[in-house]
A and B are shown apart, each in its own frame.
Chain A
Amino acid sequence: MAKQEKEEDTRFSKFGTVSFTALTKTNDFIDYLEKGKLMGTRCKKCGQIFFPPRANCYSCFSSDMDWFEVSGKGRLLSHTKLEYAPVGFEDDLPYALALVDYGDYKVFGRLNKDIPGGEIKVGMEVAPQVVKLPKGHISYEFTKA
Chain B
Amino acid sequence: MKKVGIIGVGQSAFVRGYPGAIRELAFDGFKEAMEDAKISVKDIDASLIASAPEYDKQRSPAGVIAEYLGLIPQPTCYIETVCSSSSMGLMVAYSMIQAGLYDVVAVVGFQKMSEISSMEVQERMGRGADIQWESPFGTMMPAYYAMYARAYMAGHGLTLDDLAKVRVKAATYGQINEKAVYRKAVKLEDFSDPESRLSGPIADPLRVGDCCANADGSSAIIVASEEKAKAVCEKPIWILGLGAASEAVNMAGRPDLTGGLRVGIEAGKKAFKMAGLTPKDIDVAEVHDCFTIAELMAYENLGFAKPGEGKELIQSKETYKEGSIPINVDGGLLSKGHPIGATGGSQVRTIVLQLRGEAGPMQVKDPAIGLVHNIGGVGLYGNVTILGR
Binding site for B on A (CB under 8 A): 12, 15-21, 24, 51-52, 77-89, 92, 95, 97, 99, 105-110, 121-123, 139
Question: Is B270 an interface residue, CB under 8 A from the partner?
Answer: no
**A139 lies within 8 A of B137 (CB):** yes
**A78 lies within 8 A of B138 (CB):** no
**B132 lies within 8 A of A88 (CB):** no
Binding site for A on B (CB under 8 A): 119, 122-123, 125-127, 130-140, 142-143, 146-148, 150-151, 154-155, 200-206, 250-254, 256-257
**A84 lies within 8 A of B202 (CB):** yes
- Which of chain B's residues has its CB closest to A26's CB? B132
B128 shortest CB reach to chain A, Å? 9
Give Cα A107 to B252, complex, Å.
5
The residue that B125 contacts in the complex, of A21, A83, A86, with Cβ under 8 A, is: A86
**B203 lies within 8 A of A80 (CB):** yes
- Which of chain B's residues has its CB closest to A52's CB? B133
The residue that B138 contacts in the complex, of A21, A92, A107, A122, with Cβ under 8 A, is: A92
Contacts known (A18-B136, A108-B133, A139-B136); A82 close to B203, Cβ less than 8 A: yes
B85 shortest CB reach to chain A, Å? 22
A132 shortest CB reach to chain B, Å? 14
Give Cα A105 to B252, complex, Å.
7
B159 shortest CB reach to chain A, Å? 15
- Which chain A positions have C-beta within 8 A of B256? 77
**B201 lies within 8 A of A83 (CB):** yes
- Which chain B positions have C-beta within 8 A of A92? 138
**A78 lies within 8 A of B148 (CB):** yes
Give Cα A30 to B360, complex, Å.
59
**B136 lies within 8 A of A77 (CB):** no
- Which chain A positions have C-beta within 8 A of B202? 82-84
Give Cα A77 to B151, complex, Å.
7
- Which chain B positions have C-beta within 8 A of A20? 127, 131-132, 135-136
**A122 lies within 8 A of B151 (CB):** yes
- Which of chain A's residues has its CB closest to B136's CB? A16
A105 shortest CB reach to chain B, Å? 7
Contacts known (A15-B136, A77-B257); A87 close to B146, Cβ less than 8 A: no
Give Cα A115 to B131, complex, Å.
27
Other contacts beyond A86-B125, A86-B126: 16, CB < 8 A? A52-B130, A52-B132, A78-B148, A78-B151, A79-B147, A80-B150, A80-B204, A80-B206, A82-B138, A85-B138, A86-B122, A89-B126, A89-B138, A97-B139, A106-B251, A122-B155
Give Cα A121 to B150, complex, Å.
10
Give Cα A99 to B136, complex, Å.
15
